[in-house]
Amino acid sequence: MRSFTSLLCAMTVASAVAGPLHAETAKTILFLAEDVPSGLDLDGASASITTSQTGMVNIMEPLFGYATKGVNASGITVPDFSKFEGRLVESWAFDPKTLIWTLHLRHGVKGCTGNEFTAKDVVYTYERGKSVSGSTPVGWFLANVASVKGFTADVFKNPAARTLSPDEVKAVDDYTVTIAQSEPNALFLPVLTIFGTYIFDATLMKAHATDKDPWAHDFANNVSPASFGPYCVERWEKNQEIIFKANPNYWRGKPAIDRVIMRRVPQSSNRMVILRTGQAQLTQNLTPREFDSLRGAPGLKVEGVEGNESLFIIMNFKIKPFDNIKLRQAIAYAIPTEQIIKTGYFGQAKPWHSIVPSIYPGYAETPTQYPYDTAKAKATLADAGYPDGKGLEAFHDSFQLTYPAEKESTVGPIVNIIQSALRQVGIPATLNPIPLAQFGDRTLVKRDLPFALNDYDKAIGVDAGYTLQLFLVSANKGGIANESDYSNAYIDETWPKARVETDPAKRNALLADMQEQAMKDVALLPIVEFKTQYALSDKLTGLSWQSDSSERFFDLKLQ
């Protein structure tokens, strides 16, 4: 036994001396994430998990993307949300009278299997979406948001409505597809950039269809639906790692990085420590403190982007005393934004002046603002009928500030700051961490949380209107993420108008009005927008950002 142990020790030392990972002939990078994809089906159970989305966006290709705006100060390439460029689509035209989009598809696009991309793949994708056969009908949802003809709620109740008809999506010829809208909804192009509408390789998917599973959901979730994207799946061990291999036939050219090994390392401190030794080249989702500590580390750099991540407070209109607008405003004045930016985010955040991400088209800084002012907070609280918080003890349960327990390491300091600030003003706030799954259920489905802090929900469609629809329209009128159960007649009436307004200027004006109304009512209380950060080797360049925050490996280059 002794000799075995010493042999083991010797080997451990020897292997460590061998040094960190070197890319020799083929360029390989090791990317550490808190998890690896647990499914790759766009309509599957993992579609809402960000690490799964990372897998999806790198193995499949959209019809449209955003043009590049440039590289930001930190080194991240950011998109220009006002300009679309075709990806699988070469050129396109829209007929406002028939509401039909004609898409001319790119030639010579080959997928991981060598199959060539043609119109049938687009049609298959929409057929699949309309079949709503997956665990979560993401494809249908996005098409519905974009008002694609035929994608109504009817499909759930009426099986006959699930078949795609040619007047909805049609393959005119091998490289031409028409898609019809049911109304002039400006969200069409933005939606087609979202991962949920990426295009499947029909031949591949049909080859793996079975009688019980005609749309190959099992195959997509457990093997790989890698279609026309820049990477294919070389190996996939759920809960452990996934290895992406470059698609040599990718239409933009073979990616610079041959292999990306995405490894699951659940402890963020371990991710940081491994990165520091140089064994890994890229990681994400460290705590703000960890990112801050890596800033000067040799061989590493920390890059951040002002994206669409934000922190906001939910106060439920249907639970007393949050139906009192003055009380809501009092709380708004009591939030110490600067302190949160400094202590919670180490300076990598900025105050948020509307309920829409500031980079989204249609964002308007509202005239009504609630800068941090304890005197004003106390005065407004008195106006609300609770001078110095007297009378609020009766609502003790409503003032439990709820947040996801899994996020304790990042959100913990922030909720403590908010709790003390509120108590100073007289509001009896306490803390209530609950499991993430329960948090999601209660904010989105049951809507029964009185008082909560949310740092992860965002609208993935890059449009203020889309955001407003999700979060502010009444729940029964399309406001599916209306977490504060807000219901305002003006907003409910204005949104349908804005949705189909073709004149961008008029549309933006309507959206601005809606944002101002929401701000006056404190529909949701925006606090800060914080940077999305990444830590990487200084030899790695080309990191880019899109609205889903997933890394695109194609753009990366390793020196």
Partner 1 sequence: MGRYIVKRVAVGLVQLIGLTVAVFFLIRLLPADPASRLVGMNPSREAYEQARHQLGLDQPLLTQLGAYLGLSSSGPGLLEGDFGTSWVTSSPVGSEIATYLPVTLELVTISFLIAFLVSVPIGMVGALNPGGRSDKAVFVYGLFAGSQPEFWWGLLFVYVFFFALGWAPAPLGSLSPMTSPPPSVTGFLTIDSLLAGQPDVFVEALQHLVLPVATLVFVLSGPIVKMVRQNMARALRADFVLYANCAGLPPARVARYALRAAMAPSMTLIGILYGFMLGGAVLVENVFSLPGIGQYAVRAVLAYDYPAIQGVVLVITALSLVVYLGIDLIHAAIDPRIVH
User: With respect to partner 1, which residue has the nearer C-beta, 4 or 70?
Assistant: 4
| Residue 408 binds partner 1 (CB under 8 A) | no
The count of other CB atoms within 10 Å of the CB of residue 438 is 14
DSSP letter, residue 238:
T
How many angstroms separate the CA atoms of 48 and 32, rounded?
20
| Residue 522 binds partner 1 (CB under 8 A) | no
| Residue 394 binds partner 1 (CB under 8 A) | no
Kindly determine how many residues on this chain lie close enough to bind partner 1 according to the rule CB under 8 A.
70
Tokens 């705006």, located at residue: 69
Under rule CB under 8 A, which residues in 283-322 are in contact with partner 1? Answer: none
User: With respect to partner 1, which residue has the nearer C-beta, 354 or 482?
Assistant: 482
Q: What DSSP assignment string belongs to 482-509?
A: -TT----HHHHHHHHHHHT---HHHHHH
| Residue 238 binds partner 1 (CB under 8 A) | yes
Q: Which stretch, 45-53, 63-71, 330-338, 390-398, contacts partner 1 (CB under 8 A)? A: 45-53
Q: Which of 74, 135, 358, 517 binds partner 1 (CB under 8 A)?
A: 135
Q: Which of 75, 111, 129, 137 binds partner 1 (CB under 8 A)?
A: 137
**Radius of gyration in angstroms for the set of CA atoms belonging to the chain, rounded to a whole number:** 25
Q: Which of 83, 107, 235, 396 binds partner 1 (CB under 8 A)?
A: 235
User: With respect to partner 1, which residue has the nearer C-beta, 115 or 469?
Assistant: 469
| Residue 406 binds partner 1 (CB under 8 A) | yes
How many angstroms separate the CA atoms of 99 and 398, rounded?
48
| Residue 73 binds partner 1 (CB under 8 A) | no
Q: Which of 6, 98, 210, 277 binds partner 1 (CB under 8 A)?
A: 277
DSSP letter, residue 250:
-
| Residue 121 binds partner 1 (CB under 8 A) | no
Query: Minimal CA–CA distance to 199: which of 301, 286, 87, 102?
Result: 87
Q: Which stretch, 91-99, 171-179, 370-378, 443-451, contacts partner 1 (CB under 8 A)? A: 443-451
| Residue 513 binds partner 1 (CB under 8 A) | no
| Residue 239 binds partner 1 (CB under 8 A) | yes
Question: Residues 104, 107, 109, 110: is their CA dihedral positive or negative?
Answer: positive
| Residue 260 binds partner 1 (CB under 8 A) | no
Tokens 């195959």, located at residue: 219
Q: Which stretch, 73-81, 235-243, 303-311, 532-540, contacts partner 1 (CB under 8 A)? A: 235-243
The count of other CB atoms within 10 Å of the CB of residue 428 is 15
Q: Which of 113, 279, 324, 339 binds partner 1 (CB under 8 A)?
A: 279
| Residue 263 binds partner 1 (CB under 8 A) | yes
User: With respect to partner 1, which residue has the nearer C-beta, 154 or 373?
Assistant: 154
Contact residues for 250 (Cβ-Cβ < 8 A; gap 6+): 110, 228, 229, 230, 554
Long-range contacts of 47-51 (CB under 8 A, 24+ apart): 47/134, 47/136, 47/138, 47/196, 48/136, 50/548, 50/549, 50/550
User: With respect to partner 1, which residue has the nearer C-beta, 280 or 453?
Assistant: 280
Phi-psi region of 332 (alpha: psi -120 to 50; beta: other; left: phi over 0): alpha
Long-range contacts of 500-506 (CB under 8 A, 24+ apart): 500/183, 500/184, 500/185, 501/186, 502/96, 502/184, 502/186, 504/186
Q: Which stretch, 101-109, 168-176, 216-224, 409-417, contacts partner 1 (CB under 8 A)? A: 216-224
Residue 102 backbone phi and psi in degrees, to 5: -110, 120
CB 482 within 8 A of CB 493: no
CA dist 195 → 204, 244, 340, 343, 453 (Å): 19, 18, 32, 34, 27
* Least distance from partner 1 to the Cβ atom of residue 185, Å: 16
| Residue 25 binds partner 1 (CB under 8 A) | no
- Helix, strand, or coil (residue 126): helix
Tokens of 240: 């452990």
| Residue 72 binds partner 1 (CB under 8 A) | no
| Residue 41 binds partner 1 (CB under 8 A) | yes
Instruction: Report whether the peptide linkage leading into residue 321 is cis, meaning its omega lies within 30 degrees of zero.
Output: yes
| Residue 276 binds partner 1 (CB under 8 A) | yes
Q: Which of 240, 420, 424, 430 binds partner 1 (CB under 8 A)?
A: 240
Q: Which of 51, 115, 221, 247 binds partner 1 (CB under 8 A)?
A: 221
* Least distance from partner 1 to the Cβ atom of residue 34, Å: 10
- Per CB under 8 A, residues contacting partner 1 are 1, 8, 11-13, 15-17, 21, 28, 30, 32, 38-39, 41, 44-49, 132, 134-138, 140-141, 144, 153, 156, 217-218, 221-222, 235, 237-241, 261, 263-267, 269-270, 273-274, 276-277, 279-280, 406, 435-438, 440-442, 444-446, 460, 480-481
